[in-house]
Structure 1
């Protein structure tokens, strides 16, 4: 069972994501801020991160950069979540170190497919 960290400050989006990812068979860990995300990752490195870009405090963009610079976390697959679907938002997320991009409201099947692909790719590369 893959372990996914959901980083989302909005309780409705967070609850929705957690419930639906659990239905899809993921073990889900939650953080409500960038600081909490880094703390959670320090305690237990997940298989992937679903990361809201518009977090208060440390933004999702900065969290992605921090994940990419960590020796134990530089490999983590990161899916950016944002309510903004402009090309510049996509570019900014990718430049921050995200591997995939999903807009809100989230299409669970698309998110699940992206997570599966990224986790499988990471597992193959780790061999």
Structure 2
């Protein structure tokens, strides 16, 4: 299956998403902050990143912009999973390069469907 990076500072949410995606057959790596996310992208070259906006040290939006600036990571799909849900937040995320935007709290089945859809249209990771 696919290689997925989960970037989430809330351990309960992170563990739930990692467990479910692992059950779905994906290889999953999880980190809790922005710099660790950038390191993981460079080391693991994921097919998809599930990215929280509100992270320690670097925001998810900053991480997204930095990933999009990496020539080797241009094909990585990014799903922003966040409590920030104003119209401005959505527009700002999409402008930064997010492929899909999803609000917390979230339905796990909906998340899985969106991930499947993104991966179906993906050319692979880095």
Task: Report the TM-score when normalising by structure 1.
Answer: 0.91
- Please state if 1:22 is matched with 2:22: yes
User: Who is 2:47 aligned against?
Assistant: 47
Paired residues for 1:21-100 under 5 Å: 21-100=21-100
How far is the alpha carbon of 1:116 from its aligned partner?
1.4
Segments of 5+ residues of structure 1 without an aligned counterpart are none
Structure 1 runs of 4+ off > 4 angstroms?
Answer: none
Q: Distance in 2 between matches of 1:8 and 1:32?
A: 5
User: Who is 1:122 aligned against?
Assistant: 122
Segments of 5+ residues of structure 2 without an aligned counterpart are none
Q: Cα RMSD between the aligned structures?
A: 1.5
Task: Report the TM-score when normalising by structure 2.
Answer: 0.92
How many residues were matched structurally? Answer: 125
